[in-house]
């Protein structure tokens, strides 16, 4: 005899970088299981989102802080919510408070989601545009220096020596607090 599934509240959190705080996204919201990604919204590689989407079952509710935390763009949002609803899973957003229930096919819900998803996508584009304008203005004033290098020249020299001696690159990257991609770039740099 199998136990009947009563439906879980499954949380999904995404922050854009490793040092961002995830606590405020679902603060005070009770969930049975939580999935968390640290990846840019434009990044298609969000393993914990994929795990959450595979984990949820009929009668579950996927709880997300806001639409922009779930999807990269409006098309992605609509597809994801549509697929979840078809699977019998409801989707609940905290900001603004919206719930898209499984088994319902409301034109009003679709319109609201499309409009709000479009606004979120537009807002992200405007933020990127203002950021780029600020960088350009700072460059003209001579005050923009770009991102601080991940490693000092001494660390790069030591890293190259240790890598050439055959030390494991994954372990070196972890020790220096850099990605493997950054490690390989530093090793190959002239």
The span from the CA of 60 to the CA of 32, in Å, is 10
Instruction: Provide the CB-side half-sphere exposure for 11 (13 A, CA).
Output: 18
In a domain, 93, yes or no: yes
Residues 167, 74 share a domain = no
If one counts every other C-beta atom within 10 angstroms of the C-beta of residue 105, the result is 10
In a domain, 133, yes or no: no
In a domain, 130, yes or no: no
Task: Order the strands of the 98-100 sheet from edge to edge.
Answer: 33-38, 9-15, 61-64, 90-93, 98-100
Residues 105, 42 share a domain = yes
pLDDT in tens, the chain (190 residues): 455 567 899 999 988 765 556 667 888 889 999 999 887 656 667 899 999 999 999 999 999 998 888 887 888 888 899 899 999 999 999 988 889 888 777 777 778 878 888 887 788 788 888 888 888 888 888 888 777 888 888 999 998 999 999 999 888 888 888 888 888 888 887 5
Sign of the dihedral defined by the CA atoms of residues 76, 82, 87, 92, in that order: positive
In a domain, 99, yes or no: yes
**Helix 153-164 / helix 169-176 crossing angle, nearest 10 deg:** 160
In a domain, 159, yes or no: yes
Q: Please say which residue of 65, 95, 115 terminates a domain.
A: 115
Using the 8-state DSSP alphabet, how is residue 90 labeled?
A: E
Residues 168, 88 share a domain = no
Residues 162, 104 share a domain = no
Range of the domain at 157: 153-188
Give the end-to-end CA distance of the chain in Å, rounded to a whole number.
66
Question: Distance of alpha carbon 110 from its chain centroid, rounded?
Answer: 23
Q: For the domain that residue 101 is a member of, what is the CATH number?
A: 3.40.50.1390
In a domain, 170, yes or no: yes
The tally of domains found in the chain comes to 2
In a domain, 140, yes or no: no
In a domain, 73, yes or no: yes
Residues 106, 17 share a domain = yes
From the list 110, 108, 90, the residue with the least C-alpha distance to 100 is 90
Positions marked active-site: 16
The span from the CA of 96 to the CA of 93, in Å, is 6
pLDDT at position 41 is 58
**Helix 47-55 / helix 74-86 crossing angle, nearest 10 deg:** 30
Residues 106, 16 share a domain = yes
């Amino acid at each position: 005899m199998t136990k009947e599934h009563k439906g879980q509240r499954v949380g999904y959190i995404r922050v854009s970088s490793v040092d961002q705080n995830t606590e405020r996204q679902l603060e005070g919201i009770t969930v049975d299981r939580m999935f968390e990604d640290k990846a840019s919204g434009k990044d298609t590689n969000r393993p914990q989102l994929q795990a959450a989407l595979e984990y949820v079952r009929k009668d579950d509710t996927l709880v997300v802080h806001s639409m922009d935390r779930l999807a990269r763009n409006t098309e992605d949002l609509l597809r994801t919510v549509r697929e979840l609803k078809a699977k019998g899973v409801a989707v609940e957003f905290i900001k603004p408070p919206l719930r898209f229930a499984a088994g319902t096919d409301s034109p009003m819900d679709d319109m609201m989601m499309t409009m709000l998803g479009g606004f979120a996508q537009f807002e992200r584009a405007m933020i990127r545009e203002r950021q780029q304008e600020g960088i350009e203005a700072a460059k003209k004033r001579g005050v923009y220096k770009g991102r601080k290098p991940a490693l000092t020249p001494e660390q790069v020299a030591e890293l190259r020596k240790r890598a050439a001696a055959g030390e494991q690159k994954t372990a070196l990257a972890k020790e220096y607090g850099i990605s493997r991609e950054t490690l390989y770039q530093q090793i190959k740099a002239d």
